[in-house]
Amino acid sequence: MPSREPSSRQSSQVSSKTVFTVCFTVLAVTALAYFILKTTVSLVLTVGAVMVAIALDHAVELLTRRGLRRSLAIAIVVVGLIAVGVGLGLLVIPPAIRQGRALVAEAPMLWEKVQHTRFFMALNARFDVQEQLRQESQGATGAMNLNPVISAVGGILRVLGGLVTLLFLTIFVLVFGPDLKNSALEELELESQERYARIVANIYRSVGGYLAGLLGICSLNALVTTVFLAITRMPFFLPLGLLSGASSLVPYAGPLAVGSMITLLALMTGGLWKGVATAVYFVLYGQLEGNVLGPLVYRRTAHVNPLVTLLSIVFLAEFMGVAGAVIAVPLAAVAQVVVRELLTLRRARQAQSAAVDSVEKS
């Protein structure tokens, strides 16, 4: 009888354990993505609290080096921050609210002026802008609550609730964050502790320096713009100056958008020459912030390339809105620190492997 040839079919190299591991990994990644999408507000508050805590921790460390206990230093810094915020609020918020109400009251008249300009009429004739805006406003009105007062009160309460949550999260990060960091590092292997401690220190230095510089840029922008608008007798100069200062939270894109809006408003309320003067001011200040202050902060503290900065703002702004645009640069700095450390580790391992191979060959 002819002998049977040995079977050429090999057993499968994919075990049930491998299939289970792959399926579990895909499920875990999907669940994590779904969790992040459903908890965007909490995620933004947490990241914001960590950023604020890192910025405040520099002041806390300064006080502890002078002999104060860390708990007392945290209390002094937090109380000082609240006092400064309340003081500035009492000085700035009432007139800003009055001017903001006046701006809202005059908005229909300003809109009428815009509609009668040659530029808008040409744009409307080509793209039917008025009809598109009317449809958008009807959709927004239908989506809103029937009572605008209730909507406004609800919005204010949500903002206040978010600020209170941010404050308490910041305090908890300041108090318990160092112990949590040390506990996490102690769980690592001895050879890994130094590397991860270096990563944390670099992130702390980059994000802290960036936030401190960003606060200075926002303050300078608000102060200089408010003074300029007041000198040119621009109506609503205080809320517009504060808005200009807040726009620096979004590097490059924020000042450009707000500066264009304020220039258009100056053109409508003060005529051609005031509009030209406002445009010249924002061009000059944009050069100062973009070529002097920005590189000093973004390149020397966060060490982030301007192109990477702009791309991170674009993507995170679409993902999280304004909050994503604000936290884009710190997150890019953190990612850059981690990637740089991983590349350094890879090069070190490659050099070590090459040295071992050369020894074995010799």
Split at pLDDT 50, 70, 90, the class of 4 is: low
Token readout for 181 is 């960091």
Could you give the angle at the alpha carbon of 319 between the alpha carbons of 317 and 324, nearest 5°? 45
What is the per-residue pLDDT across 326-353, written as a single tens digit (0 to 9) for each?
A: 788 888 888 888 888 888 878 877 887 8
Query: How far is the C-alpha of 212 from the C-alpha of 204, rounded, in Å?
Result: 12
DSSP single-letter state for residue 303: -
Chain centre to alpha carbon of residue 307:
16
Per-residue pLDDT, averaged over 96-109, amounts to 71
Instruction: Give the containing element (helix H, strand E) for 264.
Output: helix 253-270
Tell whether the model's pLDDT for residue 247 goes beyond 50.
Answer: yes
Whether 238 and 99 have beta carbons less than 8 Å apart is answered as: yes
| Spatial CA neighbour of 242 closest among 214, 222, 264, 225 | 222
Split at pLDDT 50, 70, 90, the class of 143 is: very low
Query: How far is the C-alpha of 343 from the C-alpha of 302, rounded, in Å?
Result: 18
Phi and psi at 12, nearest 5°, equal -65, 140
| Spatial CA neighbour of 255 closest among 227, 296, 214 | 214
Query: How far is the C-alpha of 305 from the C-alpha of 152, rounded, in Å?
Result: 40
Whether 183 and 197 have beta carbons less than 8 Å apart is answered as: no
